[in-house]
Amino acid sequence: MKNLTHCECVMTTLTVIIPVKDEEVGLEFLVEDFKKSSLSKKYDVEFIFVIDIRTSDSSKFIAKKLSSNIIDQKETTGKGAAMKQAIEAWKAKPSEIIIFLDADGSYSFDSVSKLASEIENGAEVVSGSRFLSSTGRPLGMSRLHNFGNRMLSRISSIRNRRYISDLCTGLWGFSEKSLFSLPIKSNGFDLEAELAGLCRRKKLNHKEIQVDWSQRKGGTSKLRSITDGFIIFLRILRT
């Protein structure tokens, strides 16, 4: 009789964290895109959604199509604050890979899979860049956002002595150990600037990869170009 061997096909655990405020169209896209993607065939995937209390559309209902892990963001507002709440929930059941993903449908799960593969291959932090392989303005991005993103990325590169082409990307990936090491303080859109600075301070291996990006699916951007741009600039200097 042959000896039975233990199955070695245990899947890597992956958590996708998504902050949401009035993004029903983007979330519908993500639901359908996830169904078509191969992500769930490669990883044991869980979602954590943080729904801003000010949300007035059907975002929460749509998010429940992907997960029952829904956090109502009541006491605080802002992207950074939402992520901090989600991270605290994630710590109760940590996964091996964590992805921060915007809810507006501008990034696909194929790109999420690319980031996850880089983490599996040894990177501690990975971000998806819209500019790494092109000097032109991405289709659908306003001239002001394009200029602001590139300028802030240049300032961050100088401050952190690490080149980054797309500081304000909405797609970041982390290993379990690296995310536990990051003392995130930001509450708003300065989150990404803080992440880049913390990677320098913690001496983490941060890699950028080119990913596809498309214009947001419905809704309106919550970013206040001038005001949030200044806050991001200050975060670069302070981190």
Domain presence at residue 2: no
Pairing of β 97-101 and β 206-210: unpaired
Ranges in the chain, pLDDT < 70:
1-9
Residue 189 per-residue DSSP state: T
CATH code (residue 29): 3.90.550.10
In which domain, by residue range, is 130 found? 12-238
Bin 105: left if φ > 0, else alpha if -120 < ψ < 50, else beta: left
Exposed / middle / buried, residue 95 (Cβ in 10 Å: 0-12, 13-18, 19+): buried
Domain presence at residue 1: no
**Count, residues in the chain:** 239
Domain presence at residue 160: yes
Residue-wise pLDDT tens digits, 138-166: 888 889 989 999 999 999 999 999 999 99
Measured CA distances, 3 to 6, 9, 216 (Å): 10, 18, 54
Taking the model in full, what pTM does it have? 0.92
As a whole number of angstroms, the distance between CA 130 and CA 208 comes to 10
> One-letter amino acid identity for 129?
S
Domain presence at residue 4: no
Q: How many domains does the chain have?
A: 1
Domain presence at residue 5: no
CB atoms within 10 A of CB 6: 6
Domain presence at residue 158: yes
As a whole number of angstroms, the distance between CA 179 and CA 195 comes to 10
- As given in the structure block, the two tokens for residue 123 are 């990177």
Residue-wise pLDDT tens digits, 29-67: 999 999 999 999 999 999 999 999 999 999 999 999 999
Rounded mean pLDDT of the chain? Answer: 92
DSSP H or E stretch at residue 25: helix 24-36
Domain presence at residue 6: no
Domain presence at residue 159: yes
- As given in the structure block, the two tokens for residue 70 are 């829904």
